[in-house]
Amino acid sequence: MIIIDELSFRFVENAGFRLMMSVCCPSLNVASRITIARDIYQIYADERVKLKEYLLHSCQRMCVTTDTWTSLQRINYMVITANFIDNDWKLHKKILNFCAISSHKGDDIALVLGKCLEEWGLAPKLYTITIDNAGNNSTACNALISEFL
């Protein structure tokens, strides 16, 4: 429920939720928000390992897209998405990384993107990188080309 409905971990501490659970299943001991957060992080870690293994064996080439933006709180973010066709010719789109970055400078983008590709073991499978036309992205791509070639 927490994951599917994208609820905060504190949701399990709401009086209404606890009342509903006590009526629906009185013998259930509702976990704390800390336990819920820990369990969801473990699900994430397990799924990440499965995806990494799947990518290792189920795709030959990887196309990556990346986008950066600044939030209303003036925090810079970047998302890295992998697009690939598996051995059964099915198209997949998976978010590999969503993180805060120090700036929109090309060198910073290249550093985070390169680290992500290495971490996932995808550098040898990289086929294309799709980015917008901002000048900093040319710098990022040139830095990545020099790093991986």
Domain ranges of the chain: 9-49, 59-148
Residue 133 pLDDT:
66
Q: How many CB atoms within 10 Å of residue 68? A: 20
Strand-pairing partners, residue 62, are 126
Among 114, 130, 122, CA closest to 57: 122
Q: Is the pLDDT of residue 45 over 70?
A: yes
Question: What pTM did the predictor assign?
Answer: 0.80
Residue 22 pLDDT:
92
Q: Is the pLDDT of residue 149 over 70?
A: no
> pLDDT tens-digit profile of 11-33?
999 999 999 999 999 998 889 99
> pLDDT tens-digit profile of 68-115?
899 999 999 999 999 999 989 999 999 999 999 998 888 888 899 999
Q: Is the pLDDT of residue 48 over 90?
A: yes
Q: Is the pLDDT of residue 44 over 90?
A: yes
Which residues contact residue 18 at a Cβ distance below 8 angstroms, ignoring those fewer than 6 apart? 12, 30
Q: Which 3-state string (H, E, C) describes the chain?
A: CCCCCCCCHHHHHCHHHHHHHHHHCCCCCCCCHHHHHHHHHHHHHHHHHHHHHHHHHHCCCEEEEEEEEECCCCCEEEEEEEEEECCCCCEEEEEEEEEEECCCCHHHHHHHHHHHHHHHCCHHHEEEEECCCCHHHHHHHHHHHHHHC
Parallel, antiparallel or unpaired: strands 62-70 and 126-130: parallel
Residue 74 pLDDT:
93
Q: Which residue has the tokens 């198209």?
A: 91
Per-residue confidence band for 36, with pLDDT thresholds at 50, 70 and 90: very high
What is the CA 105 to chain-centroid distance, rounded? 21
Dihedral pair phi/psi, residue 33, rounded to 5°: -65, -30
